[in-house]
Structures are given as C-alpha cells and as structure tokens.
Amino acid sequence: MPALFPSDWLADAPYEDRDLGVLKAGKESEVYLVSRTGPTRTCLMAEKRFKPRLQRAFRNDYLYAGVWGEGSRHESRAIKKRTRFGQEHLQARWESHEWATLQGLHDAGVTVPPPVERVEHGYRMAFIGDGDRAAPRLSEVDLDLTTARRVWRELQREIQLILDAELVHGDLSAFNVLWWHERPVIIDFSQAVDAVVHPAARDLLRRDVERTAGYFRRRGVAVDLDAALALVGDSPARFAHQVLSS
C-alpha cells in the first residue's frame, strides 16, 4: 500500500499551533482539531485527549496492566490499593499505551494516521479528512459490492500486518475505520493487546475479524470467517497461552 501522506505533510518549525475545537466528544476521550502553521504551509492534526477515568472504569484493567509494560513494585502496589497515585499511574500507562501502539503500527506499515507527538493526557496524529471535514467512519458509508470486496481484502491484510507486529487491535469494527480517499484507515488503539502474551489475544483477534466481517457481509460480500482467520495469520503457535495449554 502506498503511504497515506507524503513524508513532508507535517509543517516544519518554527510553527504555531491553533486549537480549532472539538471534532468528536466521546465517553472516554475527546478528539480536537488542531492546525499547525509553519514557514511554508499549514497542516491539520487530530488530538485525542483522554478523560480521567473513574476508579470503576479501571476494574477490568488489571488484566491489561501487565501487558502495558512493567511498573515499579511501588506503582503496582499503589494500583492494587487504588490510591490516587495508583490511579494516576494507571491513567498515564493507558495513555502512553495507545500512543506507543499507534507508533508501532505506523512503523509496521499499517494504514493508520501518521503519529505526531504525545501531549499531556493524549497524543496528536494526522487529521484524516478534507478541509476541516473529518472523514466518515466506514460504518456510515455504503460501499458498492465491488469496492466492499476490495476493502474487505485490504482490511484482512491490515489485520495480518497488525498481527505480524505482535498486536491485536481489540476493538476493530467499521466504527474504528475511517473511509478516506477510497481507502480504509484504522484508528482507536485503546483496547490493543500484545498478541503473544495477552491471555485473551486470540479471542480478541477472532472478535475483530468477526465484527469487521459483519459490515462487509451486510454489503453482500461472501465472507468465510475461517478462511479470513487463516489469511490474517491466526494459528495457536502465535499465542503463548494456546501453546502452553495445548
């Protein structure tokens, strides 16, 4: 796949950034439109900012904590005891997890918005849209059958690239794919997990494939789930938990 953006899309220093307001407000995050004007051009960025999560929202995150990377014992104890320090630490890990995932996937050649930088409570990436109009989600677009077949093939290839990078998106569906210049662009990596060590990685992969396939099936594409899973590279050998339990 050719790159989504030319390598010099980002305005050079010295630049001035301007906040152009909220693009999308969600339960856990808000996405802002930010323009950057440098000496020769202006470009648009999307800035995803996470809202501080409630104590409760982290309940299931114990499962994830280990695969986000190691914290110190002091930090881990604080997380378990649900102290304020522990909460802040978990929040910070959550935020850098999504940023690191975007970077890793971009480096692996997955079609994602090019990452720009980490900011407090979030990160910046290229804005996917035309003018200041954001690209629609795939779920809002009614592809014709020929295009739908092509895009389903392309997305299977993208899932394969993600898996080759030893990651599983974890929340993939037509809601987290933008449709731009006739191409699917994958976003929203907040639920991504390590494919090798996360105990639910293989189930999440299957769910990603099933949910994404659902969109294409509704557009008339003949979807074979087992074939799709084989194509993206699903096999017990990839998943440590499968290997250990077999």
Ligand X SMILES: Nc1ncnc2c1ncn2[C@@H]1O[C@H](COP(=O)(O)OP(=O)(O)O)[C@@H](O)[C@H]1O
Positions annotated as catalytic residues are 171, 188
130 binds ligand X (CB under 6 A): no
Q: Which stretch binds ligand X (CB under 6 A): 58-66, 67-75, 146-154, 183-191?
A: 183-191
Nearer to Mg ion, 189 or 239 (CB): 189
Min CB(245)–ligand X separation in Å: 32
192 binds ligand X (CB under 6 A): no
Min CB(196)–ligand X separation in Å: 24
Q: Which stretch binds ligand X (CB under 6 A): 18-26, 102-110, 161-169, 218-226?
A: 18-26
Chain contacts with Mg ion (rule: CB under 5 A): 176, 188
129 binds ligand X (CB under 6 A): yes
Nearer to ligand X, 159 or 185 (CB): 185
Q: Which stretch binds ligand X (CB under 6 A): 20-28, 160-168, 200-208, 235-243?
A: 20-28
What string of H, E and C letters represents the secondary structure of the chain?
CCCCCCCCCCCCCCCEEEEEEEEEECCCEEEEEEEEECCCCEEEEEEEEECCCCCHHHHHHHHHHHHHCCCCHHHHHHHHHCCHHHHHHHHHHHHHHHHHHHHHHHHCCCCCCCEEEEECCEEEEECCEECCEECCEHHHCCCCHHHHHHHHHHHHHHHHHHHHCCEECCCCCHHHEEEECCEEEECCCCCCEECCCCCCHHHHHHHHHHHHHHHHHHCCCCCCHHHHHHHHCCCHHHCHHHHHHC
Which residue among 24, 41, 74, 82 contacts ligand X (CB under 6 A)?
24
99 binds ligand X (CB under 6 A): no
Nearer to Mg ion, 188 or 234 (CB): 188
Question: Could you tell me if residue 209 is left (phi over 0), alpha (psi between -120 and 50 degrees) or otherwise beta?
Answer: alpha
116 binds ligand X (CB under 6 A): no
Contact residues toward ligand X (CB under 6 A) are 23-24, 26, 28-29, 31, 46, 48, 113, 125, 127-129, 134-135, 137, 176, 187-188, 190
